[in-house]
Chains A and B, each alone.
Chain A
Amino acid sequence: MPRLSAEARHRVAFQLNGRPVAAEAEPRMLLTDFLRHTLGMTGTHVGCEHGVCGACTVQIDGVPARACLTLAVQIEGAQVRTVEGLGPEPGRLSVLQEAFRRHHALQCGFCTAGILMSLDYYLRANPDPGEAALREFLGGHLCRCTGYVPILAAALDAARRLREPPPHA
Chain B
Amino acid sequence: MKPARFDYVRAETLAQVHAVLAAEGGDARVIAGGQTLLPMLSMRLARPKVVVDIMRLPELAEIAGDGENIRIGAAVTQQQLLAWPELARTVPLLAAALPWVGHAQTRSRGTVCGSLAHADPSAEIPLALLALEGTLELSSRRRRRVPAAQFFTGLMSTARADDEMIEAAIFPCRRAGHGYAFQEFGRRHGDFAIVACAAVAHARGIRLAVGGVADRPIARDYSDIDGAALDDALDEFAWQLDARDDLHATASYRRGLVRRLGRATIEEARRCRA
Interface residues of A (CB under 8 A from B): 1-7, 26-28, 30, 33, 49-51, 54, 57, 60, 63-66, 68-71, 73-74, 76, 118, 122, 136-137, 139-141
Q: Which residue of B lies closest to A137 (CB)?
A: B104
Report chain A residues within 8 Å CB of B2: 28, 30, 33
B43 contacts A by Cβ under 8 Å: yes
Q: Which residue of A lies closest to B189 (CB)?
A: A139
Q: Which residue of B lies closest to A49 (CB)?
A: B1
- The segment from B6-14, B84-92, B207-215, B237-245 that touches chain A is B6-14
Counted as pairs of residues, one from A and one from B, with CB atoms less than 8 Å apart, the total is 114
Interface residues of B (CB under 8 A from A): 1-12, 16, 19-20, 31, 33-35, 38-39, 41-43, 49-51, 53, 55, 79, 99, 102-106, 108-109, 188-190
**Contact yes or no, A65 B105, CB < 8 A:** yes
Taking each of A28, A50, A54, which has the highest tally of chain B beta carbons within 10 Å of its own beta carbon?
A28
Q: Which residue of B lies closest to A57 (CB)?
A: B105
Q: Which residue of B lies closest to A135 (CB)?
A: B189
Taking the closest CB of chain B, its distance from the CB of A69, in whole angstroms, is 4
**Contact yes or no, A66 B11, CB < 8 A:** no
Asked, given contacts A74-B34, A140-B190, whether A66 binds B8 with beta carbons under 8 Å apart, the answer is no
**Contact yes or no, A27 B189, CB < 8 A:** no
**Contact yes or no, B38 A6, CB < 8 A:** no
13 contacts between A and B (CB under 8 A): A1-B9, A3-B50, A6-B49, A28-B5, A50-B39, A51-B106, A65-B109, A66-B106, A69-B35, A70-B109, A71-B31, A73-B8, A73-B10
**Contact yes or no, A69 B9, CB < 8 A:** no
- Among A7, A64, A141, the residue within 8 A (CB) of B108 is A64
**Contact yes or no, B79 A63, CB < 8 A:** yes
Bound complex: CA A30 to CA B41 (Å): 10
Asked, given contacts A28-B2, A63-B79, A65-B105, whether A4 binds B8 with beta carbons under 8 Å apart, the answer is yes
Taking each of A26, A64, A137, which has the highest tally of chain B beta carbons within 10 Å of its own beta carbon?
A64
**Contact yes or no, A1 B106, CB < 8 A:** no
Taking the closest CB of chain A, its distance from the CB of B209, in whole angstroms, is 24
**Contact yes or no, B8 A27, CB < 8 A:** yes
**Contact yes or no, B42 A68, CB < 8 A:** yes
Bound complex: CA A64 to CA B102 (Å): 13
